[in-house]
Structure 1
Amino acid sequence: MKKIVLSVLTVCCYFTNSFGQDENYIKRPAIGIHFFGNDFVTPQRIRSTSLSTVLKDNDWAKFSDLNFGFAGNYMKGLSNHFDFSTTLGVSFLEYPMDDKPQNGKDGALFEWDAMVHGKMVSDKYWVSPYISAGIGASQWRGYFGAFIPVGVGIQVNFFDEAFLLINTQYRMKVTSTTNYHFYQGIGFAGNIGRPKEEKVIPPPPPPVVVVEQEKDQDSDGIADKDDKCPTQPGIARYEGCPIPDTDGDGINDEEDKCKDVAGLARYQGCPVPDTDKDGVNDEEDKCPDVPGLADNFGCPRLETSKFNASNVQFVTGSATLTAGAKKELDKAAKILNEEYPQLKVDIVGHTDNTGGAELNQKLSEKRANAVKAYLGKKGVAADRLTATGQGQGNPITDNNSSAGRAKNRRVEFKISQ
């Protein structure tokens, strides 16, 4: 055994001494891909007996006992003897948790680690053995856990651009949702980006010749004698004055497409457009292509010649729509689906003062919801409709006559935000 160890050390020394160039070389950022196997069997045997027993009996896990997977890796040098490494791997297995019975179903095991590698020599040598330690986290079928990985490895460098990495880790459980296991990995990594170039010291600048300059109060490069705005920085084509802003909107005339009308930068100096010319600008107009009313968010009212909200009536004392009401709501549904498919509508129910206020409040809510439900059946999306009831509290006329009460028993349709 001593002869074998001595031979390995001799080979390592030969390679490191033969190919070493710059002891202060620091690894550039590198990415890699790895093939690995998770061994849960051997740690279980060690913990159930002892390490010496496993060594004595050569009772290591067989190749078929390993759970294989792939991993991606990022590395970066911290110094000539220390590297940072982070790896994310995935394998498929039934994870053995101590307090959870196994059911024979495999799942994806995601394991992440962040480690520091302590190297015997820098990356300028062909062969670089290292030890590593860090922290790790895992996720399997919704169970999240933590572990501590420690290990050893060897890095073989190829022309200072790529690496062969062989490592073994012992991953020690921290939480009950993880388990002890060995991680055996092999992979390749390659440098990314360009190597840092040596700093070139430029030659000294030529001597500065001091030339007496003409007076320039605003330091715009135009002498005061030629500057029509000597106290304001400007440009030569405006004879030393700033670029003008005719409409005073903060956007100079060279960038302002409406330089005689104050506007906004997002419209290149023009006012917010009003496509349908209804006096409501497009940013506030919910119907920008159809003329409407300012108090209706720029949209026309639903109560047009095609639809009369006063015809939406109910069976006395109930929220049941009359046949005439349904015909009228069919018109409203067609308008909302075909003419204004983007509008959102608030359906507001009202009653007269017959009966108690509490009863009328509930009745108005039921009636508003009945209208909403009917429009929904006619294809108007539910997220475009809201229903509220205001009871008897907002009459449009007095309740002293049957005609007045009939007008107060109404359903209103309002455009909502």
Structure 2
Amino acid sequence: MKHVIVVGAGQAGASCVARLRAKGFDGQITLIGEEPFPPYQRPPLSKAYLLGEMERDRLYLRPESFYAEQDITLKLGTPVTAIDPVEQTLTVGDDVLHYDDLVLTTGSTPRRLPAAIGGDLDGVMVVRGLQDVDAMAPRFAKGARVLIVGGGYIGLEAAAVAAKLELSVTLVEMADRILQRVAAPETSDYFRQVHSRHGVDIREGVGLDHLTGAEGRVTGAVLSDGSTVEVDFVLVGVGIVPNTQLAEMAGVEIDNGIATDAQGRTSDPHIWAAGDCASFPLNGQQMRLESVGNAIDQAECVADNILGSDRPYEAKPWFWSDQYDVKLQIAGLSTGYDKIVTRHGEDGVVSFWYYAGDQLLAIDAMNDPRAYMVGKRLIESGKSPAPDAVADPATDLKALLKA
């Protein structure tokens, strides 16, 4: 009986095994996860779950009974320690398992601060998994002082939660502006104003020099401009690193993550990869997308191809971020834009449309689901409406789809 093993029990791993069964695969399926929990959603961890607005059971992608009902073996709380690509075996705990196809959905790990600048002090934390958030939740007490290092979406979302819980929040971003790597200045300006209204002290163009502590616990920070901040704890949001260790152990090619071809296969014909850890060919380079949508779509494509579909993965990038009462929805990839078109909607909603020449590349929509959905459909269909039409509030957005 054919055996498919999926290593990494996150969104991609869960999507892959469910798709295999849904498409009629009747062989053996094993899903292996390092954490002791069944697959769960990560985006709500640092938002609704941390705020106490979501119970743990609601985080789970499916009831645990689903896996038993679908005859999917779960091996949780035990990491894979060895892969032998020649024998097509892997070691997990005391077991050596044979695979016909192996799917690596190992995700990513947040970057941490170096110990040399105080990164190993108690109270310096990152948001990775359920246990991280459970450990930090008691620190989110009214009046506590938190320093957030990094002005990307992770840092800004953490700042929003902390501000809502009435903590004293300082956020430092080494670049000239928050969201500089991922968004236009207009989007940065929008969220800077939102956070300022909620009392967050945002310092741009200012890095962390080092943390200070007493008795092994963080108590303060010295910033690159010489200023100091007293803190009770620190949250670090300075990006992630794809988990490629198992792939390297198996000898497969690494290029901006675990390199795959258009079908999701690595340089080893029996090993596949999907999700945050995997890169795929797009526009002449190996692209890696860190999003729930990509994890689901790429993992389902891999499942289909294990079953012989031989279909290329066609990325349709979309992302979102929740901060206070603002829902930001993003479609497309903005790389290479040279013009931003601003569209104002009713009740103060706004969207920013990214163009390269006359080509629509991406959209950032704030509390404007209609603009987001139309923009997403336009991008996916390769249509680029005239910028003047997009900017005109009198333009019926749906009409742009028919043009």
Q: Fold conserved (TM > 0.5)?
A: no
TM-score range, shorter chain: under 0.3
- Normalised to the residue count of structure 1, the TM-score between the two structures is 0.15
- Normalised to the residue count of structure 2, the TM-score between the two structures is 0.16
Max Rg structure: 1
Return the structure number with greater relative CO, CA threshold 8 A, min gap 6: 2
